[in-house]
Structure formats: C-alpha cells, structure tokens
Structure 1
Amino acid sequence: MKLDVSSLYQKSNRTYALALLRVIIGVFLIRKIFFNITSGEILYGSQSFVAHENIFFLGFIEMGSWIREFHAEITFVFSILCVFMIFGIGKRLTIFFIFLLFELFQRMNGLVLNGGDNLMKFILLYLIFADSFQYFVLKKVSYQNQILNNLNNLFTRLSAYSILIHLCLAYFVSGIFKLHSDVWFNGVASYYTLSLERFQGTPFNEQLAQNGYFITISTYGTLFLELYFPVLIWIKKIRYPLMVAGILLHLSIFSLMMIYDFQFVFIMAYCLFLTNKEWEVLTQRLKSLKFAGKWKIRKLYRI
C-alpha cells in the first residue's frame, strides 16, 4: 500500500475538536487557579511545605527559591493568559507561555501532582503547534502563503494525533503496570480500593466492596479497557461504545474515589477522536433533541 504523504498537508479534520479542547483547557485551568488561590502560599510560596531547594525549570534552567516570593503575581499572569487562550488572543504564543508557567508551577510543588497534570502538560505542548483557532476565536488563523499553509496543516495533523497517541500510551502503560500487580491480576483490586477510607466517595462504597460480581467486573473491566483501548479505539464501529465505557470508568472513579482533576483531563482528550463531520452531526442531533424537548413542554402547557 502506497503512503500518500500529500494528505498530511491537507487541512486537518479535527480543527473543531482542537478548538473545543483549547477552550475547555482554559476554563479548567482557571477553575484550578480559583480553587488553589487561598492555598497559594502553602503550595507555592516561601512558606510552602516542600523543601526550599532551587527550582530546575524545564529540567535544566536553575532558578533560585526566590521565585516563590512572586507566586501570586505569576498566578495572576497565568490566569490572564488562560482567558486569552479561551478567546484565541495571542494564538500559539499565548499557549506557549501557558505551557511554561504550567511547567513552572509543577516544578515549584511536585508533591500535589497526578497523572492528569502530566498529561495536561503534554497536551499544552502539542497545542502550541496545532491550529486550534478555526472556531471559538475573535479572529481565525489564515495563511496566504502556500508553504506556511501546508506547514500549518502538517503540524496541526501531527499535533492532534500526538495527543491521541499519548493518551493511548498512558492507558497501555497503566494497564501493563496493573497486570504485574497481584491484586489486579487476581481480580480483587477494586475491593481494596473501595475499602480504603481515603476513597470513600459515596455511602455505597462499602456495599459495592462486598459485591463479588461488581469487584470482579470492575477490576478486569478496567484492565481490559486500559490494555485494549489503544488498539480498539481506531476501529470506527466500536469507537463510540469504547469511548462511552472510558467516560463511565472515569466518572465512576470521580464519584467513588474522589479523584477529580485526573479524570477530567482524560475525558476532555476524548473529543479529538471525533472529526469535524462527526461533531457537526452530534451538534445537529443535540439541537434536534433540544427542539423536541421544548416542543413537548409547550404541548404539555397547552393541554
């Protein structure tokens, strides 16, 4: 089979999803800033509970601990840039600075990070190169020069697939590690998780922990999803059921185990699995359902 390289220079069919992802990330980061603002001094300031050694920004730029004294100002700039990103102001340059500041905050306190923060950092990195400004912006990106336009299309396609492949690798690596754990291999991991006081997200956790069917299905189901998601998600016929299963898995972890940001980051990356055409069809169906609902309510009032 001959590889058509020229197709890489065509306009990406995931520009709507990239734009949606950009907006969602902006809102998500502002929410995170809002909830951490009262704990800023403890998390990132000079009175932080972490060791006050020098900060190695981006892994190689050594910064003194004095940077902690300006954490409030950095947070303010970060929040302004997030608003700019939501509206597409500054385009790729804005996302680049958000990526740098997000990395800086991670370096200032790595003890509060989770897998979602790690994935978020890479999504921001990939978005720097993607054209996520065709929707939900004050002004769209357009290139009159054909070479620049081709490069824009190429980087956009590669960036979108990089996010998807990174997500798949995160699932697969997590599944491999679980497979080498006795509690997961023997199908009882959910029991120990739901029995821990730290993860008592609902009053039903104890009852679920005593249900053998639920424990076995949830444990092996999680293993199956993480190990086979990277392969099965590319098969169009089963993509939608697999995405629904993944969303339900993350929502169950969200509610039962009280692990919040981690789940949201993974779910919002799912939007890239849908093309512009699929998003258009989905939007039309949602509008038709909304119209049908309004019509039924009006009919009910008439009666």
Structure 2
Amino acid sequence: MKLPLSDLYKESDRTYALALLRVIIGVFLIRKIFFNITSGEILYGLDSFVAHEEIYFLGLFELSSSIRNFHSELTLIFSILSVLMIFGIGKRLTILFVFFLFELFQRMNGLVLNGGDNLMKFILLYLVFADSFKFYTINKSNFKNTVLNKLNNLCTRLSAYSIMIHLCLAYFVSGIFKMHADVWFNGVASYYTLSLERFQGTPFNEFLAQNGYFVTISTYGTLFLELYFPVLIWIKKIRYPLLIAGILLHLSIFTLMMIYDFQFVFIMTYCLFLTNKEWENIIHWIKSLKKFTRKWKVRKLHRI
C-alpha cells in the first residue's frame, strides 16, 4: 500500500477507529481493575508473593518498595483516569498518566501478565500521540494553527499505523516461534492443548482433540493466519475475510481454552484496519438492520 508523503499531513481516515479504541480500552481497564480490586493486597501489596522483587519503572530506574503501601490509592486514581479517558477529558495527558499507571502495575507484579497486557501497554503509548478525540468525547480537539494541525495529523497517522504494524509483528513473531516447535510443525499442537485440564473450557474439548481433521486444520490454520496476516491484511479484497478469521480464532481460544484478556486486546485492535468510511457503512448497515427487524416485528404482531 503506497502512501504519498504529502498525505501524512492530511487528516487521518482512522479517527473513528482511534476514538472507538480509546473508549474500548477505558472500559477494558475498568473491568480489569474491578476484577483485581479484591486481590489488590495479594497482587501488589507488601504481602504480595512478589513483594521481594525490585520495581524498575519503565525499565529505567528502581522505585522504593514502599510504593506498595499505596496500591489502593493508585488503583482508585487508575480507575478515575480510565473513566476520564473514556470521555476524552484531559485528552493526551490523561492517556499518558493511564499509560504510566498501567506500566507501574505491570512492574509491581509481572507474573500475572500475558501477551495481551504487553500489547495493551504499547497501544496506550501510541494513543498518547494520536488524536482519538474526533468522536465519543466531550470536547473535540481543534487546532487552529496550521502547523500544529499538520503535526497533529502526522502524529495521528503514524500512531494508527504503529498499532497496526505492532499487531502484525506480534502475529509474525508468534508464528515464527511456533514453526520451531515440533507439535506445531507436525500439526498436532491443538491436540495437546485441548487435552490439557488447564484449557478445558467446554465439555467438547476432548471430542475435538480426538478429531484429526479439526486438530490439523486448527493447528495449521493458526500458523497460516499468524505468518501471513502481516502481508494479507493490507490487501483490501481479502481484508474482511481475514479479520473475520482472526476474530473466530480468538473467540475459539476464548471459549475452548479460557484465555480471556489476551484475546480481547487482539480483537479490539482490528478496528483500526477499517477506515472512517467503512465504519460509516457498517453503522448504516446496522441501523438499517434494526429498522428492518422492527418492521418485521410490527407486521408479525398485526398478523397475530
């Protein structure tokens, strides 16, 4: 996909997706805080099972372990900032503080993290530089100065593409590592995964593990998606089928293996691969579908 250099200074065509991503992340963080709040002392306090470990904030300098005494206050501040981020209050500065606190909690207990948490951290960092306040915000961003407006457009475009490229790299690296594992290379990884008690998400796992067709297709299908997603996603004609395949993959992992947050983070980044015009068409289609459903219900009631 070619992008003329001059177009980088034009308004991004992914501002709707960026705003949607900002809101979804805010809701996701509040949910995460809500589920961890009762375990705060065990996860982040002085009595935590990792309390003896050193805390290197941003990997640059060490923080005093006494900060664990304030994990409750930090959790409250984190939740408030997440709400402010949802409504676009404070704009980039709010997202910056959310990023700092998210990083701090990760450093206070890294044993409970997954790949989704790592990706989330970088998404927050990219959003600091993006103008995600064109939609779903109390005060929309408005730069009257031409230079500032162009700089804002440039940062927004680069931030959006940074998130998309980062996702592609995450898939590709994961696929490369899987290729070097015998169970994946030989097409039997799904069998071993579904057979483990830890991943018994449904009563059908054992049946699926014994189905050779399902095991082979799901194993090599996952490899194909991760290795070729970074290339095929930029081809417009197959973008929708590829996104649907990715969503189905993550939903199946969510359902069958009970791996939750990881899947949600990856799926929500998909919204950036659709432009404002495409989102407008999708919303229009949903509204039309709702109108059709209402009319159908009314006709059904009249018939009765």
TM-score when normalising by structure 1: 0.99
Structure 2 residue aligned with 1:53: 53
Is this contact kept in 1: 2:45–2:51, CA < 8 A? Answer: no
Distance 2:54 2:227 in 1: 39
Distance 1:267 1:259 in 2: 13
How far is the alpha carbon of 1:52 from its aligned partner?
Answer: 1.6
Structure 1 residue aligned with 2:301: 301
How far is the alpha carbon of 1:6 from its aligned partner?
Answer: 1.2
How many percent identity over aligned positions? 77
Give the SS at the match of 2:136: coil
Q: Which runs of 4+ in 1 moved over 3 A?
A: none
Distance 2:113 2:85 in 1: 23
Distance 1:4 1:74 in 2: 44
Structure 1 residue aligned with 2:200: 200
Structure 1 residue aligned with 2:176: 176
Distance 2:91 2:54 in 1: 32
Structure 2 residue aligned with 1:285: 285
- What are the residue-to-residue correspondences of 1:51-90 with 2, within 5 Å? 51-90=51-90
How far is the alpha carbon of 1:62 from its aligned partner?
Answer: 1.2
How far is the alpha carbon of 1:60 from its aligned partner?
Answer: 1.3
- Structure 2: segments with no counterpart, 5+ residues: none
Distance 1:38 1:56 in 2: 25
Give the SS at the match of 1:202: coil
1:10-46 Cα deviation digits (max 9, x unpaired): 0000000000000000000000000000000000011
Distance 1:182 1:198 in 2: 21
Structure 2 residue aligned with 1:22: 22
Give the SS at the match of 1:287: helix
Distance 2:274 2:19 in 1: 13
RMSD over aligned Cα atoms? 1.1
Structure 1 residue aligned with 2:117: 117
Aligned length: 303
TM-score when normalising by structure 2: 0.98
How far is the alpha carbon of 1:205 from its aligned partner?
Answer: 0.2
Structure 1 residue aligned with 2:95: 95
Does structure 1 residue 214 correspond to structure 2 residue 214?
yes
- Structure 1: segments with no counterpart, 5+ residues: none
Structure 1 residue aligned with 2:39: 39
1:65-86 Cα deviation digits (max 9, x unpaired): 1010100000000000000000
- What are the residue-to-residue correspondences of 1:233-272 with 2, within 5 Å? 233-272=233-272
How far is the alpha carbon of 1:5 from its aligned partner?
Answer: 1.6
